[in-house]
Amino acid sequence: MKTNAARLLDRLQIPYDLLTYEVDPHDLAAERVAEKLHLPPAQVFKTLVARGDCHGVCLAVIPADRRLDLKALAKVSGDRKVETVPLKEIQALTGYIRGGVTALACKKPYPVYVDQSASSFERIAVSAGKRGYMLLIAPADYQQAAAATWGQLALV
């Protein structure tokens, strides 16, 4: 099965592997996804939707086992203040549902910020845009495909 994110990578001729896992709709935690993929949580990245007071909606991509540092995201995005977007708004903004949000092939081209820890891995796992599907991709290729900016975004 191809997702819009995978099709985008195909168009850009960026190599990736499409990984699948069994979805538990009652536990969509990124840490559980990492367990199911047999990858360390630090190598599996979740995509969070946020809104800044100056520049609007953006996407933050951080390790599965970390929390988003809103002050750090505000600094890297050029906003004074950033808050995560309420869950009920995510699908309308991105075209994706919780557990399937990806920065690739989003409904609109939002600014994307990736935690710099991603660069320490040969490949990282990111959502393919559908629950149960992940992309294994080189961090530099992901940065290129998502037009992303690196930053220190995650709290332990």
State the pLDDT at residue 156: 76
State the pLDDT at residue 1: 79
* 132-148 per-residue burial string, b: 16 or more CB within 10 A, e: under 16: bbbbbbbbebbbebbeb
* Per-residue pLDDT tens digits of the chain, which is 156 residues long: 799 999 999 999 999 999 999 999 999 999 999 999 999 999 999 999 999 999 999 999 999 999 999 999 999 999 999 999 999 999 999 999 999 999 999 999 999 999 999 999 999 999 999 999 999 999 999 999 999 999 999 997
State the pLDDT at residue 93: 96
CATH class of 4-155: alpha beta
